Amino acid sequence: EPEVTQTPSHQVTQMGQEVILRCVPISNHLYFYWYRQILGQKVEFLVSFYNNEISEKSEIFDDQFSVERPDGSNFTLKIRSTKLEDSAMYFCASSEEVGLARSFGPGTRLTVT
């Protein structure tokens, strides 16, 4: 069964540095998402992406965040200048249609020191 994949599985970075988290969504899916989960907390929506543009974003997704689909397979989340509070698990997800369940990737654990 096709799966969403994410790299790296764990990223450690210093405060103020830029990070790029990478995802390969399921190949026939058209809708892409990023979520995050701070340790011990709920999974929170960050952004949705369709047809090469952001379709919705949360208040968490401020100017420090950006997403891109640089080619036909990858979907990336960039954090321009990381803060300590950005430490979390970041999950990529995709769905075939907007009204269908999202398939989640295994996550990237981001640790900002």
Partner 1 sequence: GESVGLHLPTLSVQEGDNSIINCAYSNSASDYFIWYKQESGKGPQFIIDIRSNMDKRQGQRVTVLLNKTVKHLSLQIAATQPGDSAVYFCAETKAAGNKLTFGGGTRVLVKP
Residues that bind partner 1 (CB under 8 A): 4, 31, 33, 35, 38-45, 48, 50, 55-56, 58, 91, 93, 98-99, 101-107
Give 27 or 42: the residue with its C-beta nearer to partner 1. Answer: 42
Are the beta carbons of 111 and 9 closer than 8 angstroms? no
Give 33 or 79: the residue with its C-beta nearer to partner 1. Answer: 33
Type and span of the H or E element at 54:
strand 53-57
Task: Name, in order, each residue with C-beta under 8 angstroms of 107's C-beta and a sequence gap of 6 or more.
Answer: 6, 9, 37, 89, 90, 91
Give 13 or 45: the residue with its C-beta nearer to partner 1. Answer: 45
CB of 52 to partner 1, least distance (A): 15
CB of 93 to partner 1, least distance (A): 8
Give 33 or 75: the residue with its C-beta nearer to partner 1. Answer: 33
CA distances (Å), origin 76, targets 18, 34, 69, 70: 13, 9, 6, 8
